[in-house]
Amino acid sequence: PNAAQFPADVQALQAQGKKVLISIGGANGPVQLLTATDVTNFVSSMLSIITTHGFDGLDIDLEGSSLGIDPGDQDFQNPTSPKVVNFIAAVTQLLGMLPADFMLTAAPETATLQGAVSAYAGVWGAYLPVIHALRNQLDWVQVQHYNTGPMVDRNGQLQSPATADFHVAMADMLMTGFFVPAAGAFFPPLDPSQVVIGLPASPLAAGTGFTPAPIVHAALDHLYLGLSAGSNYPLGNSNGYEHFRGLMTWSINWDLHAASSFSQSHRSYLDSVNLATDTQTVLTGSGGSVHFSLRAGVAHAGRAYFLVPTLSGTSPGTWLPGNRNFPINLDGVSDWPFRPATSGFFGGFAG
């Protein structure tokens, strides 16, 4: 689209209830912030782009020479490498100028994050201090499980790409945490809701890493449900992670090129596991009625749920613990699950 049409396209997607993020970096777009002036210019230019086009969030996809761990920099909790320190400062400044519900995601390559188990120098582990510093601001981390060689897991075992154990091990490392030998310190776990597996949409979408749907679903069975029939990796939580965030793909265009085989197969699986409705957005005028089906999914079998009525409107929404905004204005009835005096009757309620 041309520059004049682009904001309207963003708004059209937002009207469908979708979030639109701008992604920076990539294999051919390194982002290097070497000086304080670079930080200032980055913040200024990104703020202008975001506000002009109305983006809902920022995805940081730093690859190649964008980040690097300099000699002598061994503590991911207190980094000294200029590229790392300056980027953290820039993102922190930028977020401070944007609404609280502005989204932040990251798409590291395996070597730059989980690779810190093997080495912490150059690009190896270079994303680790960024993720650690921004962990409270990140909505999710979607590690690229493609274009990667074998990786060492948190138990010191080598895992081969495009296998169920590889996907499980790389995701579990982030949800369990892992020891970083060079730093002599433990990288604390992220919340399962912050962890996403990134996959190629088709064999043509990446050099390596394409994984057939049955193998992906075996990995997800293990991660979500703790079922190890298709994966032998010992999870940090043997029961699985019911709030694991899901999948990312590179890319929607490659998926369309492959007749939407990625989105169709995985959408069906995810709907069978998670709470799902056949209507993503429900709209009605005053006095109207709506009809939709709601399915709990196998990950929630046996749990009690409440359908909570609300007032109309999504703004300003309702703030939940953890600085998360539930984009519905709650009425007196729907407020009950969040009241300390009554929350015990609504076990597992998460909005």
17: domain CATH number is 3.20.20.80
User: Is residue 167, in this structure, part of any structural domain at all?
Assistant: yes
pLDDT bin (cut points 50, 70, 90) of residue 298 is confident
**Number of CB atoms found within 10 A of residue 237's CB:** 14
Helix 6-15 × helix 36-53 angle, to 10°: 70
- Evaluate if residue 327 carries a pLDDT over 80: no
Mean pLDDT of 147-173: 98
Q: Is residue 320 part of a domain?
A: no
For residues 159 and 152, give the distance between their C-alpha atoms in angstroms, rounded to a whole number: 6
Of 309 and 108, the one with more pLDDT: 108
Q: Which residue has the higher pLDDT, 309 or 208?
A: 208
| pLDDT band at residue 351 using 50, 70 and 90 as cut-offs | very low
DSSP string, 180-235: ETTTTEEEPPPPGGGEEEEEESSTTSSSS----HHHHHHHHIIIII---TT-----
For the chain, the domain total comes to 1
Instruction: Considering only residues 14 and 346, tell me which one the structure prediction assigns the higher pLDDT.
Output: 14
Among 211-220, 294-303, 337-346, name the one with the lowest average pLDDT.
Answer: 337-346
Statement: residue 243 has pLDDT above 90: yes
Whether 135 is covered by a domain: the verdict is yes
Q: Is 350 part of a structural domain of the chain? A: no
What integer is the mean pLDDT of 335-350? 56
Which residues have a catalytic role annotated?
Answer: 63
For residue 350, name the pLDDT band (cuts at 50, 70, 90).
very low
- Position 125 in a domain: yes
Q: Global pTM?
A: 0.82
Domain of 192? Answer: 6-276
- Quick one: average pLDDT of 265-285? 74
Q: Any idea how long the chain is?
A: 351
For residues 161 and 208, what is the distance between their CA atoms, to the nearest angstrom?
8
In a domain, 322, yes or no: no
Is 165 domain-assigned? yes
pLDDT attached to residue 274: 77
* 148 in a structural domain: yes
